[in-house]
Structure 1
Amino acid sequence: MTQSTVSNLPAQASPTPRRKAKLIRSDAEAIEVAQQLAEDFAREAGERDRERRLPWEELERFSESGLWGITVPKAYGGAGVSWSTLSEVVATISAADSSLGQLPQNHFGVLNNLLLTGNEEQKGRYFAKVLEGYRFGNAFSEARSKTVTAFETRVRFEGDTVVVHGEKFYCTGALFAHIVPVVGVDGENRPFIAFLPRDAQGLTVIDDWDGFGQRTTASGKVLIENVRVPASEVIPAWRAYDQPTADGPVSQIIQAAVDTGIARGAFAETLRVAREARPWVDSGLEHGWQDPLSQAAIGELAWRLRAAEAILEKSAQAVERALAEPSEESVAEASVIVGQAKVLSTEIALLASSKLFELGGTRSVSSRQDLDRYWRNARTHTLHDPVRWKYHLIGNHVLNGVKPARHSWN
């Protein structure tokens, strides 16, 4: 495990990008770049998982490709890609290596909150940094608070300066970030996001993530000990939920895209091992791929995966509508449809990663293949928020017309 402080940053960590990122100019280009990177990232994904080798070099290539800047609006120099394109990019990378696919999820979420709540000077400054290749991490959740929406980290305004103090956990991407956005609340319990430089005095990132899945996300702990930043580096995140906005559905659709990607990767491996499997002795067949029972199982996985991809696309369209014309109705619609995407992507990711072994047989559990990473990653990432509450969210809206509560987990 690696502990890093202002005086002892990992050799790879830096408050500035290694090289300037390329500028992606269209949706088609973004998808093409993601496909090219995914092909490379897949090659050593199993080794990185087995060795818990953090993907420093892969992440540099990922952000230098320009993909981390594709949601920057055209008005600020970016491609302003659709949420359908972003979902496809995240799913494509996640199919190859879901740890890499997860790393920018909060980066994109922060960019959306910046767009919704930042002033023009802040938007111009931070969007420009992102286009240069700056990566945002994540220091939002807290392990000791009563619920995920409760924060004990405090922000204190002292004139033109803000002091941030607290402790965070599940901080995906913070170790790799150039800037660490930290959520803290003021005296009125309103959440703000403070953009802390990676080398800020008092900011400590601890790589103590020991989950059995998503093993190379470094989703560990962040300590913030009276870190001081100018007030110009703090945005009023609470405004994104004080009124109807798509900030919650934006956060959730990225989660669903990661899980859809895991399902794709697991399904591709399932096809491979099913074709290589021996026929069962009682089948009277020459090859395992002739087995009608295996064919039926593959058929079920295929339609469930296509259904998950279809609802992910539909949810992206709902998010687009809610962003373009935010209202109680459009935001509720986006939250419900994205909730459906969360349900389907969770179910197929877990099912496909389990059927992989059933159809591959005993040889598929060899540790040399590391195929269990798909199930471990699916089981770990789908715990981000309980999908059982998505059934409730959807049903309560359909049956009773109750709009979902607005927060980052809806």
Structure 2
Amino acid sequence: MTTQIDLAWGAAPSQHYETIAARFRPLFAEIAKGAVDRELQRRLPVEEIAQLKQAGLGAVRLPEAEGGLGATLPDFFALLIDLSEADSNITQALRGHFGFAEDLVNKPQGLDRARWAARLARGEIAGNAWTEIGNASQEGFSTRLSLRDGKLVVNGEKFYTTGSLLADWIDIGATGLNGESVTFQVRRDDPGVEIIDDWDGFGQTLTASGTTRFTNAEVDPADVVIDENKFRYGAAFYQTVHLATLAGIGRAIATETARAVAERRRHYTNAAGPRSSQDPQVLQIVGRLRSNAYAAGAIVLQVAKALERAHEAHLASDEAAEEKANAIAEIETSQALTVVTSLILEASTLLFDALGASSTRKPLALDRHWRNARTLSSHNPRIYKDRIVGDYAVNGTPPPYQWRIGLSPAAAGEAKAS
């Protein structure tokens, strides 16, 4: 069995990880074989995600006693790096589910947890429907719960509903009956649910991240939860999924570039060697790509340890320890974000210096790495992270745990006035 150490990516987080990874690596390899064709044909990874569901990827964090694989957070994020090397679109498409599952493993034992644990153990997954565009407010959702004929229903429209078209359930953020922020789930194929594959971003093109509309879609009152009650390290968790995806893109860049250099026969008369594989300047670039990927992966696994401490503090019911662990996890994630982003964006550009003009041909789809990395890096603007870290270091200011995008109260007032 080939391990991470054999591949020179460093030791795995645990011996248990190698057991978990052995279950998925053959499937990841098959997914990687079709990644370029899916990109060129714009074919959503429907079959690939179905296979991952059947293999238990959606329940990897669920304890074994509840039908999962019992992965720690470092194990989990190491697995996401592997998956993202195969196809980063799939990791991004499943990001909403992974957050939903993480919230579940932080819930106390009871009927609600048992019901959803059974669904995840069966292979069911959840997409997400949180972000609203246009004149959406930072202070609340225009998507709302209401009563209709004595039943609870949801009405509204969401965008960036990543993975929902490929999921069984949709996890929704909305305004509750009393004006509070709530979250709940509806089935993807329920009446009143319409998902449109209109994502037009230049990256992560196969994640079905477009529009979802809800028209009197029925909601089970038992599924409605106050938003503030979701797991506290959620912002750091979701961002670390992005970081793991970027690290996987870095590995794909390094591997694909090394393979292309080894196979390349044409070379320049002014080069430093007869072939690319014997050219020290080209080899230097390939080495830089691997180093960037190695560093990114190591950073992600270090951040994953901080998230694991936050999770353990929550389970220990030590409020002070949990508060401190959450703050540290958020800071470590923010410290990692700008560095990992820069490493992978640099690698996605440098790869073309190793391969020449022919590497820009569309059938090779090497541009997907920059497009995907650039798109991921824009989800949570890195320009704010260094400021947040600096404010914590200098002034002890705690980082924000949750944040939303939309019109500020002042901007919303201007929009109403106009």
Same fold (TM over 0.5): yes
In structure 1, what is the equivalent of residue 93 of structure 2? 103
Structure 1 residues 378 and 150: alpha-carbon distance in aligned structure 2, compared to 1, 3 A threshold: farther
1:274 partner amino acid: V
Alignment equivalent of 2:188, drawn from 193, 198, 206:
198
Q: Call closer, same or farther: CA 1:220–1:163 in 2, change over 3 Å.
A: same
- Pick closer, same or farther for the CA change 1:128–1:159 going to 2, 3 Å: farther
CA drift of 1:315 comes to 0.7
Quick one: distance in 2 between partners of 1:402 and 1:192? 28
- Could you say which residue in structure 1 is the equivalent of 2:259? 272
> Which residue is 2:375 aligned to?
380
Offset at residue 108 of structure 1 (A)? 1.1
Partner of 2:234: 247
Q: CA RMSD in A?
A: 2.4
**Residues 272 and 279 in structure 2, CA contact (< 8 A), matched pair in contact too:** no
Give the aligned residue type for 1:288: S
Q: Does 1:397 align with 2:392?
A: yes
1:150 shift after superposition: 4.4
Query: Quick one: percent identity of the two aligned structures?
Result: 31
Distance 1:147 1:293 in 2: 52
* Deviation readout 1:26-60 (Å, 9 max, x if unpaired): 64332122321111011111111111111111111
Q: Is the 8 A contact 1:251 1:408 kept in 2?
A: no
What's 1:126 paired with? 116
Match of 1:342 among 316, 337, 341: 337
What TM-score do the two structures reach when normalised by structure 2? 0.85
Answer yes or no: is the 8 Å Cα contact 2:292–2:344 preserved in 1.
no
Could you tell me which runs of 5 or more consecutive residues in structure 1 were left unpaired when the two chains were aligned.
1-25
2:151 & 2:107 partners in 1: Cα distance?
19
Structure 1 counterpart SS, 2:343: helix
The alpha carbon displacement at 1:74 in A equals 3.9
Residue 330 (str. 1) matches residue 317 (str. 2): no
Alignment match, 2:9: none
Structure 2 residue aligned with 1:309:
297
Higher helix share: 2
User: Tell me, which stretches of 5 or more residues in structure 2 are unaligned?
Assistant: 1-15, 315-321, 406-418
- Is the CA contact (8 Å cut-off) linking 1:69 and 1:130 kept in structure 2? yes
In structure 1, distance between residues paired with 2:180 and 2:21: 37
> Size of the alignment, in residue pairs?
382
Q: Is residue 170 from structure 1 mapped to residue 160 from structure 2 by the alignment? A: yes
Question: Closer, same or farther in 2 for the Cα pair 1:73/1:279, shift >3 Å?
Answer: same
Change (3 A) 1:151 1:119: farther
Aligned to 1:257: 244
DSSP-derived class of the 2:129 partner:
coil
| Per-residue deviation, 1:360 | 0.5
Shift of 1:290: 3.1
Alpha carbons 1:72, 1:79 under 8 Å: kept? yes
Q: Of residues 255, 261, 281 in structure 1, which corresponds to 2:269?
A: 281
Is 1:214 paired with 2:204? yes
Q: Secondary structure at the match of 2:99?
A: helix
In structure 2, which of residues 72, 88, 104 is the aligned counterpart of residue 82 of structure 1? 72
Q: Is the 8 A contact 2:309 2:325 kept in 1?
A: yes
Equivalents in 2 of 1:238, 1:159: separation in Å? 29
Q: Among residues 33, 37, 48, which one is paired with 2:27 in the alignment?
A: 37
